Amino acid sequence: MSRHRVERLGQRGDGLVETPEGVRHVPKVLAGELVDLAGGRLLRVIEASPERVPAFCPHHEACGGCKFQHWDEEHYRAWKHEQVRLVLAAQGLTPDLAPLVDAHGAGRRRVSFHVRRIEGSWRAGFMEQKSHDLVPLDHCPVLVPVLQEGPALAASFGPLLGDCDVALTAAQNGIDVAVKAERKATDKRGPALSALFHEQKILRLAVNGDVFAMAAPPVVRMGAAAVALPVQSFLQATEAGESELARLVMDSRPRKARTVVDLFCGLGTFALRLAAHMPVTAFDSDRAAIDAMVKATRMTQGLRPVLATVRNLFNAPLTVQELKGFDWAVLDPPRAGAEAQCRMLAQSAVKHVTYVSCDPQSFARDAKILAEQGFSLRHVTPVDQFKWTAHTEVVGIFSRK
C-alpha cells in the first residue's frame, strides 16, 4: 500500500500517478486527490476533490461500464471539451469549437452484457475496468427504461447456452436480442429457447448470427422512414444522439448543394433524412444495412432517389473521378476513421464536407489531410452520446478556402 497524489487525468480519463515504479493509470479518481494504491489498484481516496460527487449507480465503483459518475457535471463537461480542443490543436487545427452537446436523452438503447456462472448462479454484467472479472448487475440506470432490467434477461440464456455475450437493442416495437455463445441453438435446446423467447416477449432472437425466432422485424425510425434492423447492425447508441448528429448534418447542408454522397452510410441515418430534400448516392460495406436502407426508401413516400452501393471504402475509396459531380460529401466512418477516402476527397472537386466521427483522434488526422489540400475546418461540435465515459463524438464542417 502506498500513498500518492493524482497529478492529472489522461486522455482516457484515468488518473495519472507518479510512483517509483513509473506512472500508474488509476480509474475512478480525480486530479488533486490523495489516494492509497496497491500497485495500480485504488484502495481508497484519502483526500477527495471538491469536484467529486456521489455516483448514482451502486455498481459504479467496481463496474467498468461508466468512468465518470463520481465527477460533477460542470467539470466533467469542461474536461471533455478540452480533450477535443487538445486533439485538434495537436494537428494544428483551431476551428470554432461549439459547447459540448448532451445527447444522452432517455438513455442508451443498445447494450451487450457478458454472461458467466458465478458461485453456482448465472449472472450478467460488465467486466471490471482493466480486468476479466465480471461485475454482476441487477440493473443498469444508464440504459433506456425498457432495458434497465436487461441483466436478468441476459442471464437467463446462461443455463441454455453457457458463457455468452448477449446484445440487447430497444427497437421502436420491442426488444431485439442477439446472443454470441460457444454452444449452438441445437434441436435439443430448441424447445427451452422457444419457451424463453415467448416468456420474455422478445421481438427477435438471434444466436451466433442466425435468427432463431422472430415475432416481428425490429424497426427504428430514421427521419420519415421506418428501417427494419438487420441482426446486430450498427445503430447510434441513443435516440437523442442520432437526432443531434442528424440535426448537425442537416444544418450543415450548403445552400447551393444539389448533389450529395453519403460515405459509410450504414442503415441510412443521414441518407434517409437527406433524401427528403435531394437525391442521395450512398456507400457502405455492410450489405445487410444497405439492403435495409433501400427497402425503407421504397416503402417511404416523398423521398428523392437513393442510389446505394455495397463497397469497402477502406480498401476501395471513391476515386477523384468518381467524386466528380458531387457538391457535398457526408462521412460517418468507424473509429478507425477514413484516411484513404479523405485523401481522395482532398484531391477532388468536392467543395463541402461534413464529417461525423466517434473518435476525435482519427478525425483530427483526417481533418489535417483535408486542410493541407485546401479545405478549411470551419466548425466542430463535440457530442456526448456516451455520457459518463471518456468517449466523445464530433461533427466537423469543412469547405474549400
List active site positions.
Answer: 358
Angle, helix 339-347 to helix 360-372, in steps of 10 degrees: 20
Residue the block writes with cell 479523405? 342
Q: How far apart are CA 171 and CA 220, in angstroms?
A: 6
Q: How far apart are CA 4 and CA 130, in angstroms?
A: 20
* Cell numbers representing residue 382 in the block: 463535440
Name the amino acid, one letter, at 366: D
Residues in the chain: 401
Beta strands in 186-245 (DSSP E): 204-207, 210-214, 219-222, 225-228
> Contact 16/10 with Cβ under 8 angstroms?
yes
Q: 51 CB contacts (<8 Å, ≥6 apart)?
A: 30, 71, 72, 75
Nearest Cα to Cα of residue 29 among 44, 38, 73, 18: 44
Q: How far apart are CA 38 and CA 44, in angstroms?
A: 10
Q: How far apart are CA 20 and CA 230, in angstroms?
A: 52
- How many other CB atoms are found less than 10 A from the CB of residue 214? 15
